[in-house]
Structure 1
Amino acid sequence: MVNIQSHVCLKPYNTFGIDVRARYWVEVNHEDDLPALLHLTEFLDTPKLILGGGSNVLLCHDFDGLVVKMSIQGIDVVREDDEHIYLKAGAGIVWHELVMYCVERGYAGMENLSLIPGTVGAAPMQNIGAYGVELEQIFDSLTAVHIKTGDIQTFNHADCAFGYRESVFKHNLKGQYIITSVTFRLAKQPTFHTRYGAIRETLADMGVSDENLTIRAISDAVMHIRRSKLPDPADIGNAGSFFKNPEIPQTQFEALKAQHDDLPGYPLADTDRVKVPAGWLIERAGWKGYRSGDAGVHAKQALVLVNYGKATGDEILNLARQVQSSVQERFGISISPEVNVI
Structure 2
Amino acid sequence: MRIETAVNLRAWNTFGLPAIAQTLIHIDEEADVRRVVDHPEFGRAPKFVLGGGSNIVLARDVSAVVLKVAIGGIRLLETRGDAFIVEAGAGVPWHELVAWTIEQGLPGLENLALIPGTVGAAPVQNIGAYGLELQDRFESLDGVDLVTGRGFTLDGRLCRFGYRDSVFKHELAGKSVITRVRLRLPRPWRPELGYLDLQRRIEETGLAAPDARQIFDWVCQIRRAKLPDPAVIGNAGSFFKNPVVTPEQCRDIIARDPHVVHYPMDDGSFKLAAGWLIDACGWKGKTVGGAGVYEKQALVLVNRGDARGAEVITLARAIQESVYGRFGIRLEPEPVVVG
1:221 aligns with 2:237: no
For residue 209 of structure 1, what is the amino acid of its counterpart? Answer: L
Counterpart CA distance in 1 for 2:261 and 2:314 is 27
For residue 260 of structure 1, what is the amino acid of its counterpart? Answer: D
Higher mean C-alpha deviation, range 100-109 or range 110-119 = 100-109
Structure 2 SS opposite 1:288: coil
Aligned counterpart, 1:247: 244
Does structure 2 conserve the Cα–Cα contact (< 8 Å) formed by 1:75 and 1:88? Answer: yes
1:254-269 to structure 2, matched below 5 A, reads 254-269=251-266
Counterpart CA distance in 2 for 1:80 and 1:259 is 53
Aligned counterpart, 1:4: 3
Does structure 1 conserve the Cα–Cα contact (< 8 Å) formed by 2:23 and 2:64? Answer: yes
Counterpart CA distance in 2 for 1:193 and 1:162 is 20
Shift of 1:151: 0.3
Shift of 1:203: 3.6
Q: TM-score when scaled to structure 2? A: 0.97
Which 4+ stretches in 1 moved above 3 angstroms?
A: none
Higher mean C-alpha deviation, range 297-306 or range 31-40 = 31-40
Does structure 2 conserve the Cα–Cα contact (< 8 Å) formed by 1:203 and 1:218? Answer: no
Counterpart CA distance in 2 for 1:145 and 1:154 is 9
Aligned counterpart, 2:124: 125
Q: TM-score when scaled to structure 1? A: 0.97
For residue 15 of structure 1, what is the amino acid of its counterpart? Answer: T
Counterpart CA distance in 2 for 1:131 and 1:3 is 38
Aligned counterpart, 1:235: 232
Shift of 1:260: 1.8
Counterpart CA distance in 2 for 1:190 and 1:208 is 21
Aligned counterpart, 2:336: 340
Does structure 2 conserve the Cα–Cα contact (< 8 Å) formed by 1:108 and 1:189? Answer: no
Higher mean C-alpha deviation, range 277-286 or range 36-45 = 36-45
Shift of 1:69: 0.5
Counterpart CA distance in 2 for 1:21 and 1:203 is 47
1:279-298 to structure 2, matched below 5 A, reads 279-298=275-294
1:305 aligns with 2:301: yes
Shift of 1:301: 0.4
Shift of 1:202: 2.2
Does structure 1 conserve the Cα–Cα contact (< 8 Å) formed by 2:281 and 2:322? Answer: yes
Higher mean C-alpha deviation, range 29-38 or range 159-168 = 29-38
- How many residues are aligned here? 338
Structure 1 residues not aligned, in runs of 5+? none
Aligned counterpart, 1:155: 154
Counterpart CA distance in 1 for 2:229 and 2:65 is 28
Aligned counterpart, 2:22: 23
1:150-229 to structure 2, matched below 5 A, reads 150-205=149-204, 207-211=205-209, 213-229=210-226
Shift of 1:10: 0.4
Percent identity over the alignment is 45
1:50 aligns with 2:53: no
Does structure 1 conserve the Cα–Cα contact (< 8 Å) formed by 2:14 and 2:236? Answer: yes
Counterpart CA distance in 2 for 1:228 and 1:46 is 43
Does structure 1 conserve the Cα–Cα contact (< 8 Å) formed by 2:37 and 2:44? Answer: no
Does structure 1 conserve the Cα–Cα contact (< 8 Å) formed by 2:263 and 2:272? Answer: yes
For residue 44 of structure 2, what is the amino acid of its counterpart? Answer: D
Does structure 1 conserve the Cα–Cα contact (< 8 Å) formed by 2:107 and 2:189? Answer: yes
Alpha carbons of 1:9 and 1:208: their partners in 2 closer, same or farther (altered >3 Å)?
A: farther
Deviation string, structure 1 residues 238-260 (Cα, Å, up to 9, x no partner): 00000000000111111211222
Deviation string, structure 1 residues 266-311 (Cα, Å, up to 9, x no partner): 1110x23100010000000110111122110000000000111111
Shift of 1:76: 1.6
Does structure 1 conserve the Cα–Cα contact (< 8 Å) formed by 2:44 and 2:147? Answer: no
Shift of 1:208: 4.9
Does structure 2 conserve the Cα–Cα contact (< 8 Å) formed by 1:142 and 1:182? Answer: yes
For residue 333 of structure 2, what is the amino acid of its counterpart? Answer: P
Aligned counterpart, 2:35: 36
Counterpart CA distance in 2 for 1:184 and 1:272 is 29
Does structure 2 conserve the Cα–Cα contact (< 8 Å) formed by 1:203 and 1:217? Answer: no
Which of 303, 321, 327 pairs up with 2:323?
Answer: 327
Alpha carbons of 1:185 and 1:247: their partners in 2 closer, same or farther (altered >3 Å)?
A: same
Aligned counterpart, 2:59: 60
Does structure 1 conserve the Cα–Cα contact (< 8 Å) formed by 2:288 and 2:314? Answer: no
Does structure 2 conserve the Cα–Cα contact (< 8 Å) formed by 1:86 and 1:186? Answer: yes
Structure 1 SS opposite 2:235: strand
Counterpart CA distance in 2 for 1:50 and 1:203 is 40
Deviation string, structure 1 residues 10-45 (Cα, Å, up to 9, x no partner): 010000001111000111111122101221011123
Does structure 1 conserve the Cα–Cα contact (< 8 Å) formed by 2:191 and 2:212? Answer: yes
Shift of 1:312: 0.5
Shift of 1:189: 2.3
Counterpart CA distance in 1 for 2:268 and 2:194 is 21
Structure 2 residues not aligned, in runs of 5+? none
